[in-house]
Amino acid sequence: MMNEFHADRLFLAVDGFDLENGPSTPDLLEAQLNNVMIRSAKEVNVVADFSKLGRRSVSRIGPLERIKRLITDNRAPSEFSEGLRKKGVEVIEA
């Protein structure tokens, strides 16, 4: 049923966001559902505070290539933000 949904924008809160594996969560079922949502959305925005950045949780949600932007706080490590920008991901620090 979820494969039938379509969204212009997805705002996805995550438990971990790693430069190699992308977004992740400790819950396998949540990761599977979030992956379907990522594939159904035209634009994917990850929302995560600085403590989630560079952290890898158990279940990978989806590929980093599908992420358009990261919305985070102003304590995000500059090397992480710069690494994302090099991969084509916009970073908004508020």
pLDDT at residue 69 is higher than 90:
yes
State the average pLDDT over residues 32-42: 94
For residue 18, give the DSSP letter: E
Residues in a beta bridge with 92: 71
Count of the separate structural domains present in the chain: 1
Instruction: Centre a 10 Å sphere on the Cβ of residue 87 and count the other Cβ atoms it contains.
Output: 12
**pLDDT reading at 4 higher than 80:** no
Tokens of 67: 């992420």
| pTM (predicted TM-score) | 0.92
Query: Tokens 């997805």 — which residue?
Result: 10
Other C-beta atoms closer than 10 Å to the C-beta of 73 total: 12
User: Domain range for residue 41?
Assistant: 2-93
